[in-house]
């Protein structure tokens, strides 16, 4: 189906380290989205990807739309304490006007 | 400009009761979507409204319902509450056609006891 499998489930890293997380699906997606959720808040869009093979950056964040259209990757370089939060991948539901979300990657950064 | 406003922020209800949650979208946004977030299931789509019409519905029982008013404000209602309905309920608004234009509110934390 359209289930999104996100890994790793959690990461505990030191400030300054680089981070990689990924998302896979058995279905093809035409759009991949990456969100971040801070404690007590709603998710905020970080990066949107629209084309297979696309590589897009937003500051220290870089995301790629997999060639097979069934996966996507998010990298964070030189992590800082404010990167703490839960990162979600998402793709459009086949029925439209809504998103399927991965279960999220919880990131903890120690100074 | 004001973001998506959800009220109340926190709510405690008893099993069997019903609850109504409110969402005021960003001014000009005509689409409102609702999601349920739990630790076990993550973010799950409930329903989406555009110009007072439900365009899409997730896989939730009929106890979950919603509506949208002419000013684009939306409410969702859960009847006969169960313990498993305890969750963070998130509302997102957008202009209408583009899912990437979602802006989420901070959510309503519902606890059923």
Task: Give me A84's structure tokens.
Answer: 């703490």
Report the gap between the CA of A7 and the closest CA in chain B (Å): 14
Contact A42 B55 (CB under 8 A): no
pLDDT of residue B66: 97
pLDDT of residue B1: 57
pLDDT of residue B2: 73
CB of A45 less than 8 A from some CB of B: yes
pLDDT of residue A1: 53
* CA angle, B42 then B45 then B51, to 5°: 150
Mean pLDDT in order along chain A per 10 residues (111 residues): 88 97 93 94 94 96 96 98 96 83 96 90
For chain B, which ranges sit under pLDDT 50? Answer: none
Report the C-alpha gap between B36 and B7 in whole angstroms: 15
Q: What are the chain B neighbours of A48 within 8 Å (beta carbons)?
A: 100
pLDDT of residue B38: 95
- Which residue in chain B is spatially nearest to A40 when comparing CA positions? B106
Task: Give me A97's structure tokens.
Answer: 């006007």
Report the gap between the CA of B81 and the closest CA in chain A (Å): 23
Closest by alpha carbon to A24, among A89, A99, A85, A93? A89
Contact A31 B58 (CB under 8 A): no
Q: What are the chain A neighbours of B31 within 8 Å (beta carbons)?
A: 97
pLDDT of residue A65: 97
Q: State how far the alpha carbon of B93 is from the alpha carbons of A57, A89, B36, B60, B77, in Å.
A: 25, 18, 15, 20, 18
DSSP B43-75: EEEEEEEETTEEEEE-S--TTEEEEE-TTS-EE
Q: Which of A31, A97, A98 sits opposite B100 (nearest CB)?
A: A31
Taking one residue from A and the other from B, the number of pairs with CB-CB distance under 8 angstroms is 55
Contact A98 B45 (CB under 8 A): yes
């Amino acid at each position: 189906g359209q289930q999104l499998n996100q890994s790793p489930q959690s990461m505990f890293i030191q400030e300054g380290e680089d981070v990689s997380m990924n998302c896979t699906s058995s279905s093809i997606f035409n759009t991949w989205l990456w969100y971040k959720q801070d404690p007590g808040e709603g998710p905020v869009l970080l990066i949107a990807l629209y084309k297979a093979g696309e590589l897009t950056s937003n500051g220290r964040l870089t995301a790629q739309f997999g060639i097979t259209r069934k996966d996507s990757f998010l990298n964070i370089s030189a992590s800082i304490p404010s990167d703490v939060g839960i990162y979600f991948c998402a793709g459009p539901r086949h029925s439209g006007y809504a998103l399927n979300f991965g279960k999220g990657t919880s990131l903890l950064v120690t100074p | 400009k004001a973001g998506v406003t959800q009220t109340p922020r926190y709510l405690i209800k008893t099993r069997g009761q019903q609850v109504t949650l409110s969402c005021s979208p960003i001014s000009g946004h005509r689409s409102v979507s609702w999601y349920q977030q739990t630790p076990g299931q993550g973010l799950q789509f409930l329903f989406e409204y555009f110009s007072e019409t439900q365009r899409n519905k997730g896989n939730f029982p009929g106890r979950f319902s919603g509506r949208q008013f002419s000013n684009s404000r939306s409410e969702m209602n859960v009847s006969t509450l169960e313990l498993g309905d305890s969750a963070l309920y998130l509302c997102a608004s957008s202009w209408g056609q583009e899912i990437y234009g979602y802006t989420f509110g901070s959510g309503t934390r519902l606890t059923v006891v």
